[in-house]
Amino acid sequence: MNDFKVKVELEVNVTQEDIDDIVTTALEGGINYWCRKAEVVGDYLGEYASEQISRGGTLKLHDSEENEVYELTRDKLLDGIKKYCEDVNRPYDIMYSGMNSVGCSSGEFGLDCSMVDATVADMIIQYAVMGEIVYG
């Protein structure tokens, strides 16, 4: 008997809170081993630097080893989430499938940020600003 593979493209709902959670986890420990400083560009759009991205702002991330400065934006972060979800070697699956009232899949997917630890947040940020995993 033969097995066949089909490539499927999914749409995942990412909330403002999801973005804030991922950036907070990254800034509070996920990227600290390669990022020596995170700097808000312009005015603070939220109370904390971690809220800048979900509100359409930019963070400058200063690489401690390569003397590079990367700009993190919402579009780049969303692309980083996409690349993480496509990575077959990712440590955790962070997507969940929504259920309808009878327990069947609703066909909608979201992010389970309880599965986003420092390692996952780091990978998402590296994918977002470097396009690949460079560190770790």
State residue 57's pLDDT score: 96
- Residue closest to 110 by CA, chosen among 28, 12, 5: 12
What CA–CA distance (Å, rounded) separates 37 from 127? 18
What CA–CA distance (Å, rounded) separates 112 from 123? 16
Predicted model pTM = 0.87
SS (H, E, C) 77-91: HHHHHHHHHHCCCCC
- Mean pLDDT score, 14-23: 95
Q: What is the pLDDT of residues 79-127, one digit of tens each?
A: 999 999 888 888 877 777 876 666 666 678 888 888 899 999 999 999 9
State residue 88's pLDDT score: 83
What CA–CA distance (Å, rounded) separates 42 from 52? 10
Residue 90 lies in a domain: yes
pLDDT at 26 over 90: yes
- Mean pLDDT score, 5-31: 90
- Mean pLDDT score, 4-30: 90
Q: What is the pLDDT of residues 33-75, one digit of tens each?
A: 999 999 999 988 888 888 999 999 999 999 998 889 999 999 9
- Mean pLDDT score, 22-42: 94
The range of the structural domain enclosing residue 19 comes to 12-130
Residue 136 lies in a domain: no
For residue 88, the tally of other CB atoms under 10 A from its CB is 4
Residue 111 lies in a domain: yes
Number of domains forming the structure of the chain = 1
